[in-house]
Each structure stands twice: as structure tokens, then as C-alpha cells.
């Protein structure tokens, strides 16, 4: 807050955007973001993320490397989507995180283990709860863009 106030007093003293310009910028961001396939997280992608942290907690970077090695390329050149998904899974209590040596590590919760086990047991069709999670992930991303 102090930095923001200081910036307002010095750098942005005579600098302002009209509401029209603000809306144009927001719309450009929404348009750009909507093209980034937030709603294309497939069940296999989510399960690959969960599978990455099944044995031990991992950092986001290590998860992305492991996914890349397995041929899951949806996050290639857009690692921010991985962190968006990790954050969503953490909010849904499917993953948990902890800090160690200034690095954030993600691990499965009991709920996450159930999702993974259910998917592995019967991957011929997507479990209803996972379908709901995918839909919610898409809505969550869209809602966050509206609040920007």
C-alpha cells in the first residue's frame, strides 16, 4: 500500500486513464486470455498433475518438467496456466502446499488421492466429480478475468 500511495504521489501524479480506455484494456486482456484455452484442461491433464505429486511433494517447475517428459505439452510456453491450475486445485483442497527453502511444494491431499484413485480405477469414462471440477476450473478462470 505504501508503494502504491507513493507511486500515486510521484509517478502517476498527472497520469490517468479514462473509463473508456480502462474498459478497452480490460477487454483486450479478456480477449487475449480467452484464447489461451483455460477451458481445455482435459481430465488427463489434471490427472497427470496429480500423478506428478503422488509420490512426493514437488515444486511447480519440477511438475512442469515431469509433464513435459510425459508428453503433456499444454503448459509448454505458458507455464502460468500450470500455476493457475495448481492454485485452483489447492483452493479445492485437492492439493496442499508448503514452503521449504523459499520454494513452494505441492502435495496431494486425501481428497486428491481419491480423485486420482477413482480415475485410475475406471478411466474408461470421466468421473462425474472430475467433470464438475473441469467445468468449475473454466468458470473460475473466466470469473477471475471479469474481476481484473
Per DSSP, the residues of 98-117 read EEETTEEEEEE-HHHHHHHH
pLDDT recorded at residue 34: 47
pLDDT recorded at residue 12: 63
Nearest Cα to Cα of residue 73 among 83, 84, 65, 62? 65
Residue 60's Cβ-count burial label (10 Å; 0-12, 13-18, 19+) is: buried
Q: Using one digit for the tens of pLDDT, what is the confidence trace for 106-147?
A: 999 998 888 888 877 765 545 445 656 666 655 555 555 455
pLDDT recorded at residue 72: 83
Can you tell me the distance from the alpha carbon of 34 to that of 26, in angstroms, rounded to the nearest whole number? Answer: 12
Which of the given ranges, 33-37, 92-96, 134-138, has the highest pLDDT on average?
Answer: 92-96
Bigger pLDDT: 53 vs 33: 53
Amino acid at each position: 500500500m505504501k508503494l502504491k500511495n507513493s507511486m500515486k504521489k510521484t509517478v502517476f501524479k498527472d497520469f490517468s486513464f479514462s473509463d473508456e480506455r480502462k474498459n478497452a484494456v480490460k477487454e483486450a486482456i479478456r480477449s487475449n486470455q480467452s484464447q489461451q484455452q483455460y477451458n481445455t484442461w482435459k481430465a488427463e491433464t489434471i490427472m497427470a498433475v496429480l500423478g506428478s505429486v503422488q509420490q512426493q511433494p514437488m515444486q511447480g517447475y519440477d511438475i512442469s518438467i515431469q509433464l513435459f517428459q510425459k508428453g503433456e505439452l499444454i503448459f509448454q510456453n505458458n507455464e502460468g496456466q500450470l500455476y493457475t491450475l495448481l492454485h485452483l486445485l489447492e483452493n479445492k483442497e485437492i492439493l496442499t502446499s508448503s514452503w521449504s527453502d523459499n520454494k513452494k511444494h505441492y502435495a496431494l491431499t486425501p481428497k486428491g488421492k481419491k480423485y486420482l484413485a477413482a480415475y485410475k480405477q475406471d478411466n474408461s469414462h470421466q468421473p462425474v466429480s472430475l467433470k464438475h471440477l473441469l467445468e468449475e476450473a473454466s468458470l473460475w478462470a473466466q470469473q477471475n478475468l471479469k474481476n481484473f
